[in-house]
């Protein structure tokens, strides 16, 4: 009996020690992740649904989260820039300098980040990662240590998506050494690190082309705006960020012996109730000043270029024949659209002006309030097209957009990025005429 009792006590002691050892081996890790910013330095404030995100709010939110948990790891799959025209270089430069103030631990590189050349990326001083870059000017991985955990961050640029593919000659910026990526991932896991791989590839292609056996966390191609739900692909936790910088993702991991045992996920929106970070004030004021200076230079060039008679006449001319319609318009938000820009200090930002005046960046269209003040606001010709030929023909010549349906007219400005909650049946009664 005594011997049996001793055995039970010994067994209980062993189990207790094992449990304690297991508890000691368990740890937690908080991970903040984001994806494609797509050139959205700040949100478009024209609608409540679209007024999310921006670097100034992101800085505030990250500071709050780090104050609650200084051990947070903050990473991005890249795609910070979006370049369509020459004016986007200025904004891109400020995005890179602003992002530097956010203190990210690692940022994947995407092809869109290279649209203005590799030099801009290399000189930005950001923690870029490009695991298949052609030389050692960018690191193949970054090792992040937090709370006793080691996170090895990798990023894969798909050679097949390279915009240089169609060019003649040798323009290689990345290689296709998938085997080399596998070796690096395997070594990181052998060294006890949690491996994170970011890529522009969707999950199906990433699983087939890159193979995920040594990947603990995959950050796949960003979804449009909204974050996707995390999924398990074998032993790999797959995360899908949203785009346009409107939200942040957070995943809290429970680790046992350096491996993911369980996780909790949440998406953190950034509405206007999150104040702008004070530390970003000078950066933002400099950005606005630079945009304004570029705009004024552009205005002067357009003034020199503009000759002859404008095809636009302005709402006062339209009023002569369309008094009822003009009265309805005068009482609408459309009539005050330019004033709304001035109220928030954005009457010099071309991205905003284009939908708040008549004919911006078109021959004879709005240039500035002094030269073309009669074209401020969303007027008749914003929807129906330039009206001079119609007026001079006393209505015998149809307006340019006379064969358009109403939805098409509205869609010139009420697009998903600027007016995500737009519904024609809801908005049309406000301006019905």
Judged by average pLDDT, the poorest of 40-49, 93-102, 323-332, 405-414 is: 40-49
Judged by average pLDDT, the poorest of 28-37, 52-61, 175-184, 367-376 is: 367-376
- For position 3, what pLDDT does the model report? 40
Q: Beta-carbon neighbour count of residue 89 at 10 Å?
A: 15
In this predicted model, what pLDDT tens digit does every residue of 17-38 receive, in sequence order? 445 444 446 789 999 999 999 9
* Three-class secondary structure of residue 345 per DSSP: coil
Angle at 341 between CA 286 and CA 404, to 5 degrees: 130
What is the bridge-based pairing of β-strands 194-199 and 149-156?
Answer: parallel
More confident residue, 277 or 47: 277
- For position 179, what pLDDT does the model report? 95
Band of pLDDT at residue 223, cut at 50, 70 and 90: very high
Judged by average pLDDT, the poorest of 157-171, 219-233, 269-283 is: 157-171
Q: DSSP states of 380-401 as a string?
A: HHHHH---HHHHHTTT-SPPTT
- For position 164, what pLDDT does the model report? 64
Whether residue 229 has pLDDT greater than 50: yes
Domains annotated for the chain, with CATH where assigned, are 26-278 (3.60.21.10), 312-430 (1.10.1130.10)
- Long-range contacts of residues 369-374, Cβ cutoff 8 Å, at least 24 apart: 369/338, 371/299, 371/303, 372/310, 374/314, 374/315, 374/316
More confident residue, 228 or 371: 228
Band of pLDDT at residue 370, cut at 50, 70 and 90: confident
Judged by average pLDDT, the poorest of 36-45, 175-184, 322-331, 361-370 is: 361-370
Whether residue 220 has pLDDT greater than 70: yes
Q: Beta-carbon neighbour count of residue 140 at 10 Å?
A: 15
Band of pLDDT at residue 165, cut at 50, 70 and 90: low
Mean pLDDT of the chain: 89
- For position 45, what pLDDT does the model report? 80
Average pLDDT of the segment spanning 201-210? 95
In this predicted model, what pLDDT tens digit does every residue of 72-118 receive, in sequence order? 999 999 999 998 876 789 999 999 999 999 999 999 999 999 999 89
Instruction: Point out which residues pair with 250 in neighbouring strands.
Output: 32, 266
CA distance linking residue 400 with residue 405, whole number of Å: 12
Band of pLDDT at residue 372, cut at 50, 70 and 90: confident
In this predicted model, what pLDDT tens digit does every residue of 312-360 receive, in sequence order? 999 999 999 999 999 999 999 999 988 988 888 888 888 888 999 998 8
CA distance linking residue 202 with residue 209, whole number of Å: 11
For 308-340, letters b (16+ CB in 10 Å) and e give eebbbbbbebbbeeeeebbebbeeeebbbbbeb
Percent of the chain with pLDDT over 70: 92
More confident residue, 178 or 298: 178
CA distance linking residue 99 with residue 161, whole number of Å: 25
Percent of the chain with pLDDT over 90: 67
- For position 86, what pLDDT does the model report? 66
Q: pTM of the entire structure? A: 0.82
CA distance linking residue 413 with residue 420, whole number of Å: 11
Whether residue 60 has pLDDT greater than 90: yes
Of 91, 99, 80, 96, which is closest to residue 222 (Cα–Cα)?
Answer: 80
**Strand order through the sheet with 259-269:** 128-129, 106-108, 73-76, 26-34, 247-256, 259-269
CA distance linking residue 254 with residue 261, whole number of Å: 6
- For position 6, what pLDDT does the model report? 53
């Amino acid at each position: 009996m005594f011997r049996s009792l001793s055995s039970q006590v010994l067994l209980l002691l062993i189990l207790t020690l094992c449990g304690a050892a297991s508890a000691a081996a368990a740890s937690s890790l908080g991970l903040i992740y984001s994806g494609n910013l797509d050139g959205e330095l700040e949100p478009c404030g024209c609608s409540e649904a679209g007024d999310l995100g921006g670097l100034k709010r992101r800085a505030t939110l990250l500071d709050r989260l780090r104050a609650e948990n200084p051990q947070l790891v903050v990473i991005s799959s890249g795609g910070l820039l979006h370049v369509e025209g020459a004016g986007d270089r200025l904004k891109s430069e400020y995005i890179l300098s602003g992002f530097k103030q956010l203190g990210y631990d690692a940022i994947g590189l995407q092809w869109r980040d290279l649209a203005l050349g590799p030099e801009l990326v290399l000189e930005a001083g950001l923690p870029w990662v490009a695991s298949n870059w052609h030389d050692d000017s960018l690191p193949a991985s970054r090792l992040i240590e937090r709370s006793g955990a080691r996170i090895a961050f990798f990023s894969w640029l798909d050679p097949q998506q390279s915009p240089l593919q169609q060019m003649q000659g040798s323009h290689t910026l990345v290689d296709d050494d998938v085997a080399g990526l596998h070796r690096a991932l395997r070594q990181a896991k052998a060294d006890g690190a949690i491996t994170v791989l970011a890529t522009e590839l969707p999950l199906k292609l990433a699983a087939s082309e890159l193979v995920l056996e040594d990947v603990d966390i995959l950050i796949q191609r960003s979804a449009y705006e909204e974050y996707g739900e995390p999924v398990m692909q074998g032993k790999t936790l797959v995360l899908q960020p949203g785009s346009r910088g409107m939200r942040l993702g957070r995943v809290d991991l429970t680790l046992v012996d350096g491996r993911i045992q369980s996780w909790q996920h949440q998406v953190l929106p950034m509405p206007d109730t999150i104040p702008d970070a004070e530390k970003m004030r000078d950066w933002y004021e400099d950005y606005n000043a630079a945009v304004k200076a570029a705009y004024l230079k552009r205005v002067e060039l357009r003034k020199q270029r503009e000759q002859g008679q404008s095809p636009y006449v302005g709402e006062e001319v339209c009023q002569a024949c369309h008094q009822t319609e003009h009265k309805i318009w005068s009482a609408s938000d459309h009539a005050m659209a330019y004033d709304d820009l001035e109220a928030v200090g954005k009457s010099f930002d071309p991205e905003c002006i284009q939908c708040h005046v008549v004919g911006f960046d078109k021959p004879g269209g709005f240039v500035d309030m002094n030269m073309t003040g009669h074209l401020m606001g969303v007027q008749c010709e914003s929807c129906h097209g330039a009206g001079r030929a119609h007026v001079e023909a006393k209505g015998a010549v149809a307006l340019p957009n006379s064969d358009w349906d109403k939805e098409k007219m509205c869609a010139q400005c009420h697009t998903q990025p600027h007016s995500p909650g737009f519904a024609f049946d809801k908005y049309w009664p406000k301006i019905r005429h």
